[in-house]
Amino acid sequence: MNTEKNIKTLIVKKPLKLDCGKTIKDFPIAYETYGSLNSKKDNAILIFHALTGDQFVTGINPATNKEGWWSYAVGPDKAIDTNKYFVICSNVIGGCMGSYGPSHKDPDQKIFGTNFPVITINDMVNAQYNLLDHFGIDKLFSITGGSMGGMQVLQFISNFPDKSKTVIPIATTSSHSAQNIAFNELGRQAITADSNWKDGNYTSKDTNPGKGLAVARMAAHITYLSKKGLQEKFGRKLQEREDLKFGFDADFQIESYLRYQGSVFVDRFDANSYLYITRAMDYFDLAKQFRGNLSEAFINTKAKFFIISFTSDWLYPTQENKDIVIALNSIGADVGFVEIESDKGHDSFLLDVPDFLNALKNFLDKSYEEN
Amino acid sequence: MKNEFQVIADLIEKDKKVLDVGCADGTLMKFLKDNKNINIRGLEISKEKVQECIAKGLTVIEGNAEKDLKQFPDKSFDYVVLSQTLQAFLNPELVLKELLRVGKKAIVTIPNFGYWKVRFHLLFKGTMPITKTLPDEWYNTPNLHMCTIKDFFHFVKSKDIKIFKSLALNNLNTSIINETNLGVKNLFADLGIFLIEK
């Protein structure tokens, strides 16, 4: 799974106390950078990835040999212009692209599996904060990310209010809804119900719960799209056949598409990591950390916020993004907001949606000019 | 920049915090930001216009004044500006109340339905008036609650709203409106600008 020679790693020596009560130290954070840090060190953008992302934001991902997950938005002359900005992205802890996670070994040289501590969004950003020291960056120019990346953006600026000039949460929420938790639970159940999961010890038993993980991915993938988008792309089109076959093979293109999405996912992702990361998302409730008052999370920051949602995103709908805007306005914070018209669902932030990419570019470039 | 914006800008002191409700493409916001060091936010319903504001480097929130003003705390802005939009709301009275809650002061401009060209158009042509400030046909106008300068003047008085300044605009001419010249200004101005406080 990991092509380890291509993975840059920072070993964090400093102990990190996790929300679950355990403390970790001497743990690896795998990261990648794009562009170069200028002499004033004021052009750095920290990008946080979503559930199944990794540190390989753009260009060819050496582990998958495919385009990075945010290639539409990040690169030379793109919205997040790497000719201008120094982009840093790291794999979250609990992940499976080199950062400390359940596929790593414990001090007794046994693979953690489900003995890895349960981590939270808060733990993820506290771990990633070490990258600022590593690069000698006092203040980031921006932090951004979509979906779970957006949750990390919100948590980061709450924890470190003066560490970024601008803050761009995209298609996200400040609190995981019952529906979000329900879909994640469906994915976890699919994994743990696979007899090859072996209570999380599949690696030592030389198996892999690939079927369960693929079903988890298929179910989740539906939530990233919109009904209209699916209908327009697939409708009732048949898969390489003239008529229905009266069986349970993939008659429809949408079935074949989902099966393919499931199978390629299994090749690049670890089932236990999927359990850990979805759990971190479910536990995310920023308002709860501030006795139910979300505004309190941002009371100490002077950063400039720009929040973006998408019309057809039903997983992290506009209203949940607007709730963050409302919390910021009620304390007089500097916040802009736009809802982008798109029928590509939650995945819109990863795709070629020109209105979104233009807004992102304009906000960043104009804010940087004012620096 | 149009004369109306110049007059609005002249009413606002430097270094203030201002909310432009229905800020459109951000022309006024940009002017205030660049020339008067105003900390300015915009609220705009049109997605295209929001994009134009972002391209100008302005802080704008996509939203609907009738629903979204309530998220701003009391007196959180020194001034709230509403330019030629009051007549387009379903409930202008409520919006006005919200403007005066959110802003320490409000600047409201209204296209004057009492302007002589408007009256002349209806009187002699017998069709709904079309002028420079009222360019749309009856069937596609966004305007729901047209009023005259006189109507607005009486309305704010009846609501115990303080008028600090009321100005009549006719092309490039600006003059002060008061109780005694109200009838004349209502006939010769195509736009009224009011600086008010509750």
Per-residue model confidence as pLDDT tens digits over B85-134: 999 999 999 999 999 999 999 999 999 999 999 999 999 999 999 988 88
Contact with chain A for residue B196, Cβ under 8 A: no
pLDDT (mean) for B28-41: 94
For residues A123 and A56, what is the distance between their CA atoms, to the nearest angstrom? 21
Contact with chain B for residue A355, Cβ under 8 A: yes
pLDDT score, position B1? 64
pLDDT digit string, tens, across residues B126-164 = 999 998 888 999 999 999 999 999 999 999 999 999 999
Please provide the CATH number assigned to the domain covering B3-115+146-197.
3.40.50.150
Pairing, β B17-21 against β A334-340: unpaired
pLDDT score, position A2? 45
Please provide the CATH number assigned to the domain covering A181-278.
1.10.1740.110
C-beta pairs of A237-240 under 8 Å, 24+ apart in sequence: none
For residues B150 and B129, what is the distance between their CA atoms, to the nearest angstrom? 18
Annotation says A365 is catalytic = no
Dihedral (CA of B1, B4, B7, B9) sign: negative
Structure tokens at A159: 């924890």
Domain boundaries, chain B: 3-115+146-197
Strand residues in B84-149 grouped as ranges (E): 103-111
Q: Are B104 and B181 within 8 A, CB to CB?
A: no
Q: Residue B54 and residue A325: Cβ atoms within 8 Å? A: no
pLDDT (mean) for A346-350: 98
Please return the burial class of A208, using the count of CB atoms within 10 Å of its CB with bins 0-12, 13-18 and 19+: middle
Please return the burial class of B165, using the count of CB atoms within 10 Å of its CB with bins 0-12, 13-18 and 19+: middle
CA dihedral B29, A157, A52, A221 (to 10 degrees): -50
Q: What are phi and psi of A67, to 5 degrees?
A: -55, 145
For residues B68 and A218, what is the distance between their CA atoms, to the nearest angstrom? 37
For residues A52 and A286, what is the distance between their CA atoms, to the nearest angstrom? 22
Q: Which of these, B100, B82, B111, lies nearest to B192 by C-alpha position?
A: B111
Whether pLDDT at A12 is above 50: yes
Please tell me if the domain spanning A4-176+284-369 has the same topology as the one spanning A181-278. Answer: no
pLDDT (mean) for B37-44: 96
Please return the burial class of A293, using the count of CB atoms within 10 Å of its CB with bins 0-12, 13-18 and 19+: middle
CA dihedral A63, A69, A70, A76 (to 10 degrees): 30
Whether pLDDT at A204 is above 60: yes
Domain boundaries, chain A: 4-176+284-369, 181-278
Whether pLDDT at B171 is above 90: no
Across the A/B interface, how many CB contacts are shorter than 8 Å?
Answer: 54
CA dihedral A303, B76, A317, A352 (to 10 degrees): -50
Residue to mutate among B19, B38, B56, B61, with most A CBs inside 10 A, is: B61
Structure tokens at A53: 């992302």
What residue of B is the nearest CA neighbor of A324?
B71
3-state DSSP call for residue B25?
coil
Q: Residue B55 and residue A362: Cβ atoms within 8 Å? A: yes
- What DSSP assignment string belongs to A97-109? SSSS-TTSB-TTS
For residues A299 and A284, what is the distance between their CA atoms, to the nearest angstrom? 19
Q: Which of B54, B73, B76 sits opposite A338 (nearest CB)?
A: B54
Q: What are phi and psi of B127, to 5 degrees?
A: -120, 165
Contact with chain A for residue B101, Cβ under 8 A: no
pLDDT (mean) for A294-303: 98
pLDDT digit string, tens, across residues A70-90 = 999 999 999 999 999 999 999
3-state DSSP call for residue A222?
helix
3-state DSSP call for residue A183?
helix
pLDDT score, position A4? 65
Q: Are B178 and B9 within 8 A, CB to CB?
A: no
Please provide the CATH number assigned to the domain covering A4-176+284-369.
3.40.50.1820
For residue A1, name the pLDDT band (cuts at 50, 70, 90). very low
Catalytic hit among A90, A99, A147, A273: A147
For residue A371, name the pLDDT band (cuts at 50, 70, 90). confident
For residue A5, name the pLDDT band (cuts at 50, 70, 90). low
Instruction: Give residue A332's region: left, alpha or beta (phi > 0; psi -120 to 50).
Output: left
Average per-residue pLDDT in chain A?
Answer: 97
Whether pLDDT at B53 is above 80: yes
What residue of A is the nearest CA neighbor of B56?
A366
Residue type present at position B95: V
pLDDT (mean) for A274-300: 98
For residues B13 and A370, what is the distance between their CA atoms, to the nearest angstrom? 22
